[in-house]
Amino acid sequence: MNGTHSAVVTLVLSRIVRVMITDDTLSVDLEDGRTVSVPIGWYPRLSYGTPTERANFQISTAGYGIHWPDLDEDLGVEGMLLGKRSTESPISFERWLQQRKKGPYQDVD
């Protein structure tokens, strides 16, 4: 074989055991001892959420994701390890913001 050898990187996922959220940072402790921290600004729904809404989360049964029911937000450990930001479109996010202003029991236009 001629040329450069390619490197293969294997991402090893570890389960989330603890979640910490501040006004600036989302951090997760993983079962293998790592702590991963990312800016909360990467996830607009978390940024706009209240401290109470951010504190209401569930770690998935398998341990590889986090769900915020009040914010309709889901994040996976893989995305955090890869440094992926939210991919929600501006239109979708604006729709979500408008719905928040109306409240949970009002009709959507």
Strands 35-39 and 25-30: antiparallel
- DSSP, collapsed to helix, strand or coil, labels residue 89 as coil
Identify whether the C-beta of residue 57 lies closer than 8 Å to the C-beta of residue 48: no
Instruction: Categorize the per-residue pLDDT at 109 as very low, low, confident or very high, splitting at 50, 70 and 90.
Output: very low
CA atoms within 13 A on the CB side of 7: 3
Residue 107 has pLDDT above 90, yes or no: no
| Residue 93 maps to a domain | yes
Give the mean pLDDT of the chain. Answer: 89
Residue 83 has pLDDT above 90, yes or no: yes
Residue that is written with structure tokens 């001892």 in the block: 33
pLDDT the model gives residue 16 = 97
Number of structural domains found in the chain: 1
Residues 37-72 have pLDDT tens digits of: 999 999 999 999 999 999 999 999 999 999 999 999
More confident residue, 14 or 7: 14
Identify whether the C-beta of residue 66 lies closer than 8 Å to the C-beta of residue 75: yes
| Residue 6 maps to a domain | no
| Residue 50 maps to a domain | yes
Q: Measure the CA–CA gap between 89 and 91, rounded to whole angstroms.
A: 5
| Residue 4 maps to a domain | no
CATH number at residue 38: 3.30.2020.40
Token pair of 67, please?
């769900």
Q: Which of 2-11, 82-91, 93-102 has the lowest mean pLDDT?
A: 2-11
Print the domain residue range for 49.
16-102
Tell me the torsion sign for CA atoms 57, 61, 63, 65.
negative
Number of residues in the chain:
109
- List the one residue out of 85, 79, 64, 60 whose CA is nearest residue 15: 64
Instruction: Categorize the per-residue pLDDT at 3 as very low, low, confident or very high, splitting at 50, 70 and 90.
Output: low
